[in-house]
Amino acid sequence: MEILLTGGAGFIGSAVATRLVAAGHGVRVLDALLPAVHPSGRPPALPGGVEFRQGDVRDRAAVERALEGVDAVCHQAAMVGLGLDLDDAPDYVGCNDLGTSVLLAAMARGGVRELVLAGSMVVYGEGSYRCPEHGEVAPGPRRTADLDAGRFEPPCPRCGAPLAPGLVGEQAPADPRNVYAVTKLAQEQLAAAWARACGGRVLSLRYHNVYGPGMPRDTPYAGVASLFRSALARGEAPRVFEDGGQRRDFVHVRDVASANLAALRAVAARPAGSARAYNVGSGEVHTVGAMALALAAAYGGPAPVVTGEYRLGDVRHITADSARLRAELGWRPEVSFAEGMTEFAAAPLRG
């Protein structure tokens, strides 16, 4: 199969390219090499046989040329991370939603009808919670006064009681809590509309906290694992926000790449006009504080410092139920948390 891989020079995209080539697929990468991700302006080393084209998914002509002769698209190109403030909103919407709409329109014109989309767990907002009295509840946004006072756990919106966090499944309603999250939900909705309009097929992979070799060095758009790893490389203690008790599912980038391969193998068998989402998580729940401790120990650096700081727009707990992906596509994560953190501690970061 000939595959167009957008964003294929990025952290996740380059791992996907490696996995697809190893499986015998032809891969054409389209990547804008944005300075926030590629400060050198040069693509990373990609596997032999990958055709690299520098171009932006917002550029209609570049996308149309890149789509020539391909059977399916794996769309990884996006501006990622929470960002700094609302001044980032135009960039997020432009990169993620305008870029996706340009790509989808070109696919409709060019007759390419199979799409695997890089989604995100951020579309859920907070994860799944249960109140002892009221059962499953959806807490509202956390209040600044509570966060300032160190009250980080969201209470029951009905009685104020403490809540028990659990796993969130794909059937959970969307509740994006920041601009990036809104753009990721919009990508899924645009793709679903495209599928209905032209008889396409789309599988959206909602990544949880992806980490591994090749992560970019710390920027305002980097993931927490990259921020901790960058601090250790500078000889500094990782700074853990809130109380470190935030629950996450840290999934290795090679497992994310294998999920993309499984989705590309399965998408052609889906009904025309259909869209389906899958969580991509390791199945292991760890706190941010525990991850910082594991990474610092594996690196041999200073122990993490819990700061009590917070970022508005961050959620407290979000962990995946990936049973649908395992059952329907036969995917299984292969890299354990302990193994992955040990590897990540020794791996160089992308400059």
Cα 102–108–111 angle (5° rounding)?
130
Strand 164-166 and strand 72-75: the pairing is unpaired
Three-state secondary structure call for residue 17: helix
Sheet holding 135-137, edge to edge: 135-137, 128-131, 164-166
Using an 8 Å Cβ cutoff, are 197 and 261 in contact? no
- Residues whose CB falls within 8 Å of the CB of residue 90, separated by 6 or more in sequence, listed in order: none
Using an 8 Å Cβ cutoff, are 317 and 244 in contact? no
What is the rounded CA–CA span in Å between residue 337 and residue 335? Answer: 7
DSSP helix, strand, coil percent of the chain (3-state; round to 5): 35, 20, 45
What is the rounded CA–CA span in Å between residue 179 and residue 87? Answer: 10
Tell the burial category of 351 from Cβ atoms under 10 Å away from its Cβ (0-12, 13-18, 19+): exposed
Sign of the torsion formed by the C-alpha atoms of 38, 225, 147 and 124: positive
Per annotation, catalytic residue among 92, 129, 180, 278:
180
Match 């948390």 to its residue by tokens: 337
What is the rounded CA–CA span in Å between residue 242 and residue 239? Answer: 10
Decide if 211 is catalytic.
no
Distance of CA 332 to the CA centre of its chain: 18
Q: Which of 208, 227, 213, 212 is nearest to 305 (CA)?
A: 227
233: left (phi over 0), alpha (psi -120 to 50) or beta: alpha
277 membership: H or E segment, kind and range: strand 274-280
Catalytic residues: 180
